[in-house]
Amino acid sequence: MPSRHAITTGCVLTITVLTLTAAPAVAQARTAEAQAVAAARKPPPGMIEALQRDLGLTREEAETRLRNEARMTPIEERLRGQLGSRFGGAWFAGSVAQTLVVATTSPADIALIVAAGARAEIVTRSLSDLQAVKKHIDQALPTRQETGSVRYIDTKINKVVVLSTAVTTTTNILENAGVDPVAVRVVSSDEQPRPLGDVVGGEAYYIGSASRCSVGFSVTRGAQKGFVSAGHCGKVGATTTGVNRAAQGVFEGSSFPGSDYAWVAVNGDWTPKPLVKNGSGGTVTVAGSRVAVEGASVCRSGSTTGWHCGTIQQRDTSVTYPQGTVSEVTRTTVCAEPGDSGGSFIAIDQAQGVTSGGSGDCTSGGVTYFQPIGEILATYGLTLVTDATTPPGTSTPPGTSTPPGTGTPPGTGTPPGTGTCTGYPQSVTGTLKSGQSVYQPNNRYYRSTVTGVHAGCLDANDGVDFDLYLQKWNGRNWSVVATADSPSPDEKISYTGTPGYYRYRVVSANGSSPYTLKYKAP
């Protein structure tokens, strides 16, 4: 069996939930892989600088790391599905995430993993096996911090790790409970978790007159608008005021301990935006909620310490605070401090979760945990507000509302000639300035009821760089299924797709011009 990474023992840490008390009053064609790589080439403002500072990288190394993560994340998703019950976990290795390691319980999978562009590792226990072991451990250990303040699955060593200040006592409890001793490692640690105390992720909000937390992500439920945050920040019915101390909203749902998430419904004076503050006076646009791979870069925004980055360490972690245990949080190397609770965790432009608690601070460094966004949305029936948001509570694509940042509406300007775009029955026209984009047809979508070829042809004036993307509705989000982004004004897409809802996104990467988009559906 390949050698494993050792876990450092004797850690001296203090984990805290990050609520601030007594706060001051002011405070086929190329697919989705290509789209992800393109996003990594142009990361949000401030992300490269934060990765340089927090991971000790050069600018070139930070840029390379993001490109590698974007390129290999879809590979991990495919292999996870193909391996099924044999999947043992996956993680990025190397300072610039140059290697994707995928674990399996079957040597017969090695060829498949290598052919996909990853490194194979054979393990004894599958991820589902480890999840069962961890569940057994969570049930066996008392809710006392000294017998296991933190429990998580470490896929790199193929074991469940328990951090404890009383190693012998904890080991005996687990043995008496019948936990497989080979599948668990008890590590000496002094971690003692305790609580710390437009809508834009990372901004401050206040609960009553004494506590401050941070906005996670903007959401909607039906016609109601709001945001998600940490559950320990407030109970159901608690009222909130915004960063400007104006009346803001009320906690409609809250869970803590057990989980650590909540959602706040805001009044009509607040408009949720698909944005997260990046700490340099700018914002990062939220495009979706794709789950990042272990080892991937991730950044956090909070109202106390602003914008900090690190890497994702382990998922499905259990953390015991004095108030009780919180399960299924994700462990990271990002720092945080009181008041950062509830703030946004984001990987490039993909929402990951909301800040729960952490150890250390942003001077000496530390460990921080976040509650994954997917569980929050599912629990409360919420829809994440993104740069192409769909009306919540529906499984069909959006209607007539225009997504933010879509540029000049279609039907303006004088379209260029059709060039080689012949034989396409549908046609739309418009004008875009440099950096703008628009969804077609007419900021809506079209429906295909059969499997077949979707073909699009874009024609703009010479001297500009226009790109074309085909997106399909997956029931929760729009995902890019085909891309044409050469450095020319004209683009073509041909994609064989199953029945569903589709739309095109026309983007001006450089230059202003009228355009004509012709397309046909099966």
Judge if the upstream peptide bond of residue 441 is cis by omega within 30 degrees of 0.
yes
Residue of 109, 129, 260, 459 with catalytic role:
260
Instruction: Output phi, psi for 359, to 5 deg.
Output: -115, 155
**Tokens 């004209």, residue located:** 490
Question: Is 341 one of the annotated active-site residues of the chain?
Answer: yes
The 8-class DSSP code of residue 364 comes to T
Beta-strand ranges (E) seen in 283-372 are: 283-285, 297-302, 306-321, 324-332, 344-347, 350-361, 365-372
Q: Are 323 and 120 in contact (CB under 8 A)?
A: no
**47: its two tokens:** 């992300």
The residues facing 217 across adjacent strands are 228
The residues facing 470 across adjacent strands are 482, 504
Question: Is 462 one of the annotated active-site residues of the chain?
Answer: no
DSSP states of 225-254 as a string? EEEEE-GGG--TT-EEE-TTS-EEEEEEEE
Residue of 149, 154, 164, 232 with catalytic role:
232
Question: Is 308 one of the annotated active-site residues of the chain?
Answer: no
Distance, in Å, from the CA atom of 367 to the CA atom of 379, rounded to the nearest integer, reads 26
**Tokens 């900021």, residue located:** 443
Residue partners of 116: CB distance under 8 A and separation at least 6? 75, 78, 79, 102
What is the Rg, in whole angstroms, of the alpha carbon atoms belonging to the chain? 24
Q: Are 158 and 287 in contact (CB under 8 A)?
A: no
Residue partners of 445: CB distance under 8 A and separation at least 6? 397, 398, 439, 473, 501, 502, 503
Residue of 254, 341, 437, 508 with catalytic role:
341
Classify residue 447 as left (phi > 0), alpha (psi -120 to 50) or beta. Answer: beta
**Cβ neighbours of 425 (radius 10 Å):** 8
Task: Report, as residue numbers or ranges, the catalytic residues.
Answer: 232, 260, 341
